Structure 1
Amino acid sequence: MDEGNTAAGSAPEISQMSFEQALAALEQIVQQLERGDVPLDQSISLYERGEALRAACQARLDAAQARIEKIVTGADGRASGTRPFDAES
């Protein structure tokens, strides 16, 4: 009966989703909200899930960046320390 509520109601747990799945779900929510054809209550639920998905994606990106910062090698191929991922060489 409430077929439009499946995006937030029966969706998988965010913690169980891969980064790619979470990003795709977030993009789908954005599209639904941009169309503007969902009821207000469902829009609020979609927005809340979208914010949770955004936060989960950001946390995974931050963790990936931290891992990359740890991987720094010298000219000889040996680890020489760390530096921020986006720092100039």
Structure 2
Amino acid sequence: MPPKTSSPKKKGVDFEQSLSTLESLVTRMEQGDMTLEESLQAFEAGIALTRECQTRLAAAEQQVNKLIEQQGNISLEPFHADEGDA
């Protein structure tokens, strides 16, 4: 039961860790020195990490949309990361 209690606090860190792990897997696979079995395992892990990251990003987008709605905007606008940089 303690993992359930600590999981909400770790979501941001878990996303960053998942992304870092995914980047490491890609780098290792691109080097070409893995066996076929290692490559398949890395590919499976990469797919799982990609899905996990996509799920977390979708949840974050929904949370941003909800925050926009709470600020009194009449229409709900999707979050676009590149607009925040300008």
Tell me, yes or no, whether TM beats 0.5.
yes
- Runs of at least 4 residues of structure 1 off by over 6 A? none
Report matched runs for 1:28-67 at 5 Å. Answer: 28-67=24-63
Distance 1:66 1:35 in 2: 37
Bigger radius of gyration? 1
TM-score by length of 2: 0.69
Distance 1:52 1:78 in 2: 35
Q: How big is the alpha-carbon RMSD for the aligned residues of Structure 1 and Structure 2?
A: 2.4
* Residue correspondences, number: 69
Percent sequence identity is: 38
Higher helix share goes to which structure?
A: 2
Gaps of 5+ in 2: 1-10
Gaps of 5+ in 1: 1-15
State the SS of the aligned residue for 1:60: helix
C-alpha contact (below 8 Å) 1:70/1:83 kept by paired residues: no
1:25 aligns with 2:21: yes
